[in-house]
Amino acid sequence: MRTFVIGLWLAIATVVSAAADPNAVADFYRGKVITLYVGYGPGGGFDVMGRLLARHMGKHMPGHPAFVVQNMPGAGSLVLANYLYNRAPADGTQFGIIARNLPLIALVGGDANVRFDPRRFTWIGSSSDFSDDAYPLIVRKDSPIKSLADARRAAGPALVIGGTAEGSSSADVPKILQDTLGIRMKLILGYRDSAALFLAMENAEIAGRTVELSSVRATHPQWLEPGSDYRILLMYARKQRDPQFPEVPTARELAPNAAARELIEFTESPLLSMAWPFVAPPGVPADRAAVLQSAFMATSRDPDYLADAAKLKVPIEPVSAADINRAIDTLAKASPKVFDYVRKLMVVKKSGG
Protein backbone atom coordinates (compact mmCIF):
# COMPACT_ATOMS: atom_id res chain seq x y z
CA MET A 1 0.00 0.00 0.00
CA ARG A 2 2.84 2.36 0.93
CA THR A 3 4.47 1.73 -2.45
CA PHE A 4 1.13 2.40 -4.19
CA VAL A 5 0.62 5.71 -2.34
CA ILE A 6 4.15 6.90 -3.14
CA GLY A 7 3.66 5.96 -6.78
CA LEU A 8 0.35 7.78 -6.89
CA TRP A 9 1.86 10.97 -5.47
CA LEU A 10 4.76 10.79 -7.89
CA ALA A 11 2.30 10.45 -10.79
CA ILE A 12 0.28 13.45 -9.56
CA ALA A 13 3.44 15.50 -9.10
CA THR A 14 4.54 14.63 -12.63
CA VAL A 15 1.20 15.74 -14.08
CA VAL A 16 1.17 19.00 -12.08
CA SER A 17 4.77 19.72 -13.02
CA ALA A 18 4.06 19.18 -16.72
CA ALA A 19 0.98 21.43 -16.54
CA ALA A 20 2.98 24.19 -14.89
CA ASP A 21 6.13 23.82 -16.99
CA PRO A 22 6.72 27.20 -18.65
CA ASN A 23 9.11 25.61 -21.13
CA ALA A 24 6.33 23.37 -22.42
CA VAL A 25 4.11 26.41 -23.05
CA ALA A 26 6.96 28.28 -24.72
CA ASP A 27 7.69 25.26 -26.91
CA PHE A 28 4.03 25.12 -27.93
CA TYR A 29 3.78 28.79 -28.88
CA ARG A 30 7.20 29.11 -30.50
CA GLY A 31 6.70 29.50 -34.25
CA LYS A 32 2.92 29.56 -33.91
CA VAL A 33 0.54 32.17 -35.31
CA ILE A 34 -2.30 33.30 -33.04
CA THR A 35 -5.44 34.47 -34.80
CA LEU A 36 -7.19 37.32 -33.03
CA TYR A 37 -10.72 37.62 -34.41
CA VAL A 38 -12.75 40.82 -34.37
CA GLY A 39 -16.51 40.33 -34.31
CA TYR A 40 -17.10 43.44 -36.41
CA GLY A 41 -15.89 44.84 -39.71
CA PRO A 42 -12.83 47.07 -40.14
CA GLY A 43 -12.87 50.67 -39.00
CA GLY A 44 -14.91 50.56 -35.78
CA GLY A 45 -13.94 50.65 -32.14
CA PHE A 46 -13.73 46.86 -31.71
CA ASP A 47 -11.44 46.64 -34.73
CA VAL A 48 -9.24 49.39 -33.30
CA MET A 49 -8.96 47.63 -29.92
CA GLY A 50 -8.31 44.21 -31.45
CA ARG A 51 -5.54 45.42 -33.72
CA LEU A 52 -4.02 47.49 -30.92
CA LEU A 53 -3.69 44.40 -28.71
CA ALA A 54 -2.38 42.23 -31.55
CA ARG A 55 0.49 44.64 -32.20
CA HIS A 56 1.89 44.21 -28.69
CA MET A 57 0.74 41.01 -26.97
CA GLY A 58 3.10 38.55 -28.66
CA LYS A 59 6.21 39.91 -26.94
CA HIS A 60 4.65 39.16 -23.54
CA MET A 61 4.03 35.49 -24.32
CA PRO A 62 6.51 32.63 -23.95
CA GLY A 63 7.67 31.54 -27.37
CA HIS A 64 6.72 34.98 -28.78
CA PRO A 65 4.10 33.82 -31.30
CA ALA A 66 3.06 36.05 -34.17
CA PHE A 67 -0.42 37.58 -34.23
CA VAL A 68 -2.76 38.07 -37.17
CA VAL A 69 -6.12 39.85 -37.03
CA GLN A 70 -9.14 38.53 -38.89
CA ASN A 71 -12.52 40.23 -39.01
CA MET A 72 -15.57 37.99 -38.62
CA PRO A 73 -18.54 40.39 -38.61
CA GLY A 74 -22.14 39.35 -38.24
CA ALA A 75 -25.13 39.88 -35.93
CA GLY A 76 -23.34 42.23 -33.59
CA SER A 77 -20.42 39.78 -33.12
CA LEU A 78 -22.76 36.86 -32.38
CA VAL A 79 -21.33 35.00 -35.38
CA LEU A 80 -17.87 35.17 -33.83
CA ALA A 81 -19.07 34.23 -30.33
CA ASN A 82 -20.81 31.13 -31.69
CA TYR A 83 -17.73 30.22 -33.73
CA LEU A 84 -15.37 30.52 -30.77
CA TYR A 85 -17.68 28.47 -28.54
CA ASN A 86 -18.57 25.69 -30.97
CA ARG A 87 -16.00 25.42 -33.75
CA ALA A 88 -12.69 27.14 -32.98
CA PRO A 89 -9.77 24.97 -31.84
CA ALA A 90 -9.47 25.09 -28.05
CA ASP A 91 -5.68 24.95 -28.09
CA GLY A 92 -4.89 28.57 -27.23
CA THR A 93 -4.18 29.71 -30.80
CA GLN A 94 -7.48 31.52 -31.43
CA PHE A 95 -9.42 34.10 -29.47
CA GLY A 96 -11.38 37.23 -30.23
CA ILE A 97 -13.09 40.41 -29.15
CA ILE A 98 -16.90 40.30 -28.95
CA ALA A 99 -19.71 42.62 -27.93
CA ARG A 100 -19.90 43.42 -24.26
CA ASN A 101 -23.66 42.80 -24.11
CA LEU A 102 -23.51 39.20 -25.39
CA PRO A 103 -23.06 37.61 -21.95
CA LEU A 104 -26.23 39.35 -20.78
CA ILE A 105 -28.17 38.32 -23.90
CA ALA A 106 -27.08 34.70 -23.42
CA LEU A 107 -28.01 34.68 -19.74
CA VAL A 108 -31.40 36.28 -20.38
CA GLY A 109 -32.22 33.59 -22.96
CA GLY A 110 -34.95 33.53 -25.54
CA ASP A 111 -32.75 33.97 -28.62
CA ALA A 112 -32.27 30.71 -30.51
CA ASN A 113 -29.31 32.21 -32.39
CA VAL A 114 -27.25 32.36 -29.20
CA ARG A 115 -25.39 29.06 -28.97
CA PHE A 116 -23.03 29.57 -26.06
CA ASP A 117 -22.91 29.80 -22.27
CA PRO A 118 -20.77 32.80 -21.21
CA ARG A 119 -19.87 31.01 -17.96
CA ARG A 120 -17.98 28.32 -19.90
CA PHE A 121 -15.89 30.59 -22.13
CA THR A 122 -12.18 31.07 -21.42
CA TRP A 123 -12.15 34.80 -20.72
CA ILE A 124 -8.87 36.60 -21.44
CA GLY A 125 -9.67 40.06 -20.09
CA SER A 126 -11.10 43.43 -21.09
CA SER A 127 -9.04 46.41 -22.23
CA SER A 128 -11.20 48.78 -20.22
CA ASP A 129 -13.94 48.84 -17.60
CA PHE A 130 -15.77 51.69 -19.38
CA SER A 131 -15.16 54.08 -16.46
CA ASP A 132 -13.61 56.58 -18.91
CA ASP A 133 -16.00 55.75 -21.73
CA ALA A 134 -19.73 55.96 -22.44
CA TYR A 135 -22.39 54.99 -24.94
CA PRO A 136 -23.81 58.31 -26.19
CA LEU A 137 -26.81 58.90 -28.40
CA ILE A 138 -25.29 61.15 -31.04
CA VAL A 139 -27.29 62.91 -33.76
CA ARG A 140 -26.80 65.20 -36.72
CA LYS A 141 -27.50 68.86 -35.93
CA ASP A 142 -29.64 69.20 -39.06
CA SER A 143 -31.98 66.47 -37.79
CA PRO A 144 -35.56 67.55 -36.96
CA ILE A 145 -34.79 66.30 -33.44
CA LYS A 146 -32.86 69.15 -31.82
CA SER A 147 -33.13 68.17 -28.16
CA LEU A 148 -34.21 65.49 -25.72
CA ALA A 149 -37.54 67.26 -25.41
CA ASP A 150 -38.04 66.85 -29.17
CA ALA A 151 -37.08 63.19 -28.95
CA ARG A 152 -39.58 62.53 -26.14
CA ARG A 153 -42.46 64.48 -27.65
CA ALA A 154 -45.53 62.34 -28.31
CA ALA A 155 -46.24 63.99 -31.67
CA GLY A 156 -43.98 64.89 -34.55
CA PRO A 157 -41.17 63.03 -36.30
CA ALA A 158 -39.34 60.16 -34.66
CA LEU A 159 -35.57 60.10 -34.44
CA VAL A 160 -34.25 57.90 -37.27
CA ILE A 161 -31.25 55.91 -36.05
CA GLY A 162 -29.32 52.96 -37.42
CA GLY A 163 -27.95 49.68 -36.10
CA THR A 164 -26.36 46.47 -37.29
CA ALA A 165 -28.57 43.58 -36.16
CA GLU A 166 -30.94 42.32 -33.48
CA GLY A 167 -28.91 41.48 -30.40
CA SER A 168 -26.18 44.04 -31.07
CA SER A 169 -25.55 47.00 -28.78
CA SER A 170 -26.53 49.30 -31.65
CA ALA A 171 -29.99 47.71 -31.58
CA ASP A 172 -30.45 46.93 -27.89
CA VAL A 173 -29.37 50.26 -26.40
CA PRO A 174 -31.90 52.22 -28.50
CA LYS A 175 -34.63 49.81 -27.37
CA ILE A 176 -33.67 50.39 -23.74
CA LEU A 177 -33.67 54.18 -24.19
CA GLN A 178 -36.99 54.02 -26.01
CA ASP A 179 -38.63 51.88 -23.36
CA THR A 180 -37.23 53.52 -20.22
CA LEU A 181 -36.95 57.18 -21.26
CA GLY A 182 -39.75 57.48 -23.79
CA ILE A 183 -37.52 58.51 -26.68
CA ARG A 184 -39.39 58.05 -29.96
CA MET A 185 -37.17 56.30 -32.49
CA LYS A 186 -37.34 54.64 -35.85
CA LEU A 187 -34.63 52.00 -35.73
CA ILE A 188 -33.23 50.85 -39.07
CA LEU A 189 -31.17 47.65 -38.80
CA GLY A 190 -29.06 45.82 -41.34
CA TYR A 191 -25.93 47.97 -41.58
CA ARG A 192 -22.82 45.86 -42.04
CA ASP A 193 -20.71 47.31 -39.25
CA SER A 194 -19.81 50.45 -37.31
CA ALA A 195 -17.96 52.00 -40.24
CA ALA A 196 -21.08 51.65 -42.39
CA LEU A 197 -23.14 53.34 -39.68
CA PHE A 198 -20.71 56.25 -39.46
CA LEU A 199 -20.93 56.64 -43.25
CA ALA A 200 -24.73 56.49 -43.13
CA MET A 201 -24.75 59.36 -40.65
CA GLU A 202 -22.35 61.40 -42.76
CA ASN A 203 -24.59 60.84 -45.81
CA ALA A 204 -27.74 61.72 -43.80
CA GLU A 205 -29.29 58.29 -44.41
CA ILE A 206 -29.90 58.21 -40.66
CA ALA A 207 -30.04 61.04 -38.15
CA GLY A 208 -28.22 59.33 -35.31
CA ARG A 209 -26.87 56.25 -33.61
CA THR A 210 -25.65 54.94 -30.27
CA VAL A 211 -21.94 54.15 -30.20
CA GLU A 212 -18.95 53.97 -27.86
CA LEU A 213 -17.55 57.42 -27.12
CA SER A 214 -14.04 55.99 -27.44
CA SER A 215 -14.90 54.77 -30.93
CA VAL A 216 -15.93 58.29 -31.97
CA ARG A 217 -12.76 59.69 -30.43
CA ALA A 218 -10.61 57.17 -32.29
CA THR A 219 -12.27 57.31 -35.71
CA HIS A 220 -14.25 60.61 -35.93
CA PRO A 221 -12.79 62.99 -33.32
CA GLN A 222 -13.95 66.02 -35.32
CA TRP A 223 -17.54 65.11 -34.44
CA LEU A 224 -16.81 65.99 -30.80
CA GLU A 225 -15.26 69.38 -31.45
CA PRO A 226 -17.18 72.60 -30.70
CA GLY A 227 -19.15 73.76 -33.71
CA SER A 228 -19.25 70.33 -35.37
CA ASP A 229 -22.28 69.06 -37.27
CA TYR A 230 -23.14 66.56 -34.53
CA ARG A 231 -24.48 66.76 -30.99
CA ILE A 232 -24.78 64.30 -28.10
CA LEU A 233 -28.25 64.08 -26.54
CA LEU A 234 -27.45 61.76 -23.62
CA MET A 235 -24.87 59.32 -22.24
CA TYR A 236 -25.79 55.70 -21.55
CA ALA A 237 -23.44 53.50 -19.45
CA ARG A 238 -22.12 56.28 -17.25
CA LYS A 239 -22.67 56.69 -13.52
CA GLN A 240 -21.85 60.41 -13.63
CA ARG A 241 -21.68 62.99 -16.39
CA ASP A 242 -18.57 63.04 -18.57
CA PRO A 243 -16.35 65.99 -17.58
CA GLN A 244 -15.75 66.77 -21.26
CA PHE A 245 -19.51 67.09 -21.81
CA PRO A 246 -20.89 68.44 -18.50
CA GLU A 247 -24.11 69.61 -20.14
CA VAL A 248 -25.03 66.11 -21.41
CA PRO A 249 -27.19 64.12 -18.95
CA THR A 250 -26.79 60.43 -18.20
CA ALA A 251 -29.55 57.94 -18.90
CA ARG A 252 -29.74 57.18 -15.18
CA GLU A 253 -30.58 60.75 -14.22
CA LEU A 254 -33.22 60.94 -16.95
CA ALA A 255 -35.06 57.84 -15.69
CA PRO A 256 -38.64 58.88 -14.88
CA ASN A 257 -39.05 56.37 -12.03
CA ALA A 258 -37.25 53.77 -9.92
CA ALA A 259 -38.24 50.85 -12.18
CA ALA A 260 -36.77 52.55 -15.25
CA ARG A 261 -33.56 53.38 -13.39
CA GLU A 262 -33.25 49.77 -12.18
CA LEU A 263 -33.54 48.49 -15.75
CA ILE A 264 -31.00 51.02 -17.02
CA GLU A 265 -28.50 50.12 -14.30
CA PHE A 266 -28.95 46.38 -14.84
CA THR A 267 -28.46 46.58 -18.61
CA GLU A 268 -25.51 48.94 -18.18
CA SER A 269 -23.67 46.56 -15.85
CA PRO A 270 -22.00 44.40 -18.56
CA LEU A 271 -20.74 47.53 -20.29
CA LEU A 272 -19.30 48.94 -17.08
CA SER A 273 -17.43 45.73 -16.27
CA MET A 274 -16.21 44.59 -19.70
CA ALA A 275 -16.01 47.36 -22.26
CA TRP A 276 -13.74 45.55 -24.76
CA PRO A 277 -13.85 41.83 -23.81
CA PHE A 278 -11.50 39.25 -25.27
CA VAL A 279 -12.51 35.61 -25.09
CA ALA A 280 -11.20 32.19 -26.12
CA PRO A 281 -13.06 28.89 -26.59
CA PRO A 282 -14.07 26.73 -23.63
CA GLY A 283 -11.59 24.07 -22.66
CA VAL A 284 -8.31 25.83 -23.47
CA PRO A 285 -5.61 23.96 -21.47
CA ALA A 286 -5.15 25.65 -18.12
CA ASP A 287 -1.47 26.51 -18.63
CA ARG A 288 -2.12 28.15 -22.01
CA ALA A 289 -5.19 29.98 -20.70
CA ALA A 290 -3.09 31.32 -17.83
CA VAL A 291 -0.42 32.49 -20.27
CA LEU A 292 -2.97 34.29 -22.45
CA GLN A 293 -4.51 35.96 -19.41
CA SER A 294 -1.21 37.03 -17.87
CA ALA A 295 0.14 38.23 -21.23
CA PHE A 296 -3.01 40.29 -21.72
CA MET A 297 -2.55 42.02 -18.36
CA ALA A 298 1.17 42.51 -18.99
CA THR A 299 0.39 44.10 -22.34
CA SER A 300 -2.01 46.48 -20.60
CA ARG A 301 0.94 47.80 -18.57
CA ASP A 302 3.33 47.97 -21.55
CA PRO A 303 4.50 51.59 -22.10
CA ASP A 304 4.60 51.09 -25.88
CA TYR A 305 1.06 49.71 -25.88
CA LEU A 306 -0.18 52.57 -23.69
CA ALA A 307 1.51 55.14 -25.93
CA ASP A 308 -0.11 53.54 -28.96
CA ALA A 309 -3.50 53.66 -27.19
CA ALA A 310 -3.00 57.32 -26.29
CA LYS A 311 -2.42 58.17 -29.94
CA LEU A 312 -5.72 56.48 -30.76
CA LYS A 313 -7.41 58.31 -27.86
CA VAL A 314 -8.74 55.10 -26.32
CA PRO A 315 -8.68 54.64 -22.52
CA ILE A 316 -6.98 51.59 -21.05
CA GLU A 317 -8.30 50.42 -17.67
CA PRO A 318 -7.75 46.64 -17.85
CA VAL A 319 -10.15 44.13 -16.32
CA SER A 320 -8.86 40.66 -15.48
CA ALA A 321 -10.46 37.40 -16.56
CA ALA A 322 -11.31 36.68 -12.93
CA ASP A 323 -13.20 39.97 -12.62
CA ILE A 324 -15.13 39.27 -15.83
CA ASN A 325 -16.14 35.86 -14.50
CA ARG A 326 -17.31 37.47 -11.25
CA ALA A 327 -19.34 40.06 -13.18
CA ILE A 328 -21.03 37.33 -15.23
CA ASP A 329 -21.81 35.34 -12.08
CA THR A 330 -23.41 38.47 -10.58
CA LEU A 331 -25.53 38.98 -13.70
CA ALA A 332 -26.64 35.35 -13.59
CA LYS A 333 -28.06 35.88 -10.08
CA ALA A 334 -30.54 38.55 -11.15
CA SER A 335 -34.18 37.90 -10.31
CA PRO A 336 -36.39 36.00 -12.78
CA LYS A 337 -38.60 39.11 -12.94
CA VAL A 338 -35.74 41.24 -14.22
CA PHE A 339 -34.65 38.56 -16.69
CA ASP A 340 -38.18 38.22 -18.00
CA TYR A 341 -38.54 41.96 -18.53
CA VAL A 342 -35.18 42.28 -20.28
CA ARG A 343 -35.91 39.21 -22.42
CA LYS A 344 -39.15 40.71 -23.68
CA LEU A 345 -37.52 44.07 -24.33
CA MET A 346 -34.24 43.02 -25.95
CA VAL A 347 -35.02 39.74 -27.68
CA VAL A 348 -38.71 39.38 -28.39
CA LYS A 349 -39.64 43.00 -29.07
CA LYS A 350 -38.87 44.18 -32.58
CA SER A 351 -38.37 47.93 -32.84
CA GLY A 352 -39.87 49.50 -35.92
CA GLY A 353 -40.17 53.08 -34.81
Q: Which domains does the chain have, with CATH numbers?
A: 2-131+274-344 (3.40.190.150), 135-270 (3.40.190.10)
C-beta separation of 237 from 133 below 8 A: yes
Residue in 63, 58, 67, 62 with CA at minimum distance from that of residue 30 = 63
Task: Look at residue 43 in the predicted model and tell me its pLDDT.
Answer: 83
Task: Look at residue 19 in the predicted model and tell me its pLDDT.
Answer: 45
Give per-residue pLDDT as tens, 216-235.
988 899 999 999 999 999 99
Residues of the chain with pLDDT under 70: 1-22, 167, 346-353
Task: Look at residue 3 in the predicted model and tell me its pLDDT.
Answer: 44
Task: Look at residue 346 in the predicted model and tell me its pLDDT.
Answer: 66
Q: What pTM, to 2 d.p., does this model score?
A: 0.74
Task: Look at residue 347 in the predicted model and tell me its pLDDT.
Answer: 56
Pairing state between β 33-38 and 277-280: unpaired
How far apart CA 235 and CA 250 sit, in angstroms, is 5
Residue in 45, 171, 125 with CA at minimum distance from that of residue 298 = 125
How far apart CA 201 and CA 138 sit, in angstroms, is 10
Report helix, strand and coil shares of the chain as percent, to nearest 5.
Answer: 45, 15, 40
Task: Look at residue 204 in the predicted model and tell me its pLDDT.
Answer: 96
Tell me the CA distances in angstroms from 214 to 122, 130, 136, 243, 293, one per residue in order.
26, 9, 10, 14, 24
Give per-residue pLDDT as tens, 65-110.
999 999 999 888 999 999 999 999 999 999 999 998 899 889 988 8
Beta bridge partners of 188: 162
Beta bridge partners of 137: 210, 234
